[in-house]
Amino acid sequence: MCELFGLSANCDVSISFTWRGFLKRGEFHYHGWGVAWYLGGKVRAVKEPSPSHKSPIAELLLKGVKGRIAISHVRFASRGKPSYVNTHPFVRKLGEREWAFAHNGDVSDIMGDPEFRLEHYFPVGETDSEYAFCYIMDRLKELDSDVSSIIKTSKAIWSIANRIGDYGKFNFLLSNGDYLFAFMNEPKTLRFLLRHPPHA
């Protein structure tokens, strides 16, 4: 199974103080890693289908990733071979915003269910994770101008995620650059920590 890391801050911060420990999880989740972060309202994403704890790119990014929101993922493949296109986070554009998504769990059965047919967004890879993300983006596209309302967007994401979550474990992190949305449908499988500077 995979692991997720998310950061949301009220100003641009370096993620290195906690991300370093997360990257070590690549020893157990060695099929890929990735990170997406927002800086100046634009998403930056780097990923590779190899272990994070051995990656010189990840080591280099420890000194350079800075922003208000970040989403990271280490992957142990359950569906889809280890490859760049199957590595999280995934990014899609909706209107003027770029959305980033990473998932932990298995909801593979939605891929064959006509109720979850895709219309506007389609996966590049083979994972149920990217398929679920495309389905979420399809539904958010239907909100049109209402996607700018955080209340309507949050309610829509919650409703969509609950439907997908009926098919299995569905923990995910999702961001549009302004907000970080976290969803968990199995108790005690996603945790958060509130930190205040100075960090000891």
- 195 C-beta neighbours (distance < 10 Å), count: 12
Of residues 2, 7, 23, 134, which has the active-site annotation? Answer: 2
Distance between CA 70 and CA 37 in Å, rounded? 4
106: tokens are 């298995």
Distance between CA 169 and CA 171 in Å, rounded? 6
**H or E stretch including 97?**
strand 97-105
Any bridge partners for residue 169, and if so which? none
Q: Is 134 a catalytic residue?
A: no
The residues annotated as belonging to the active site are 2
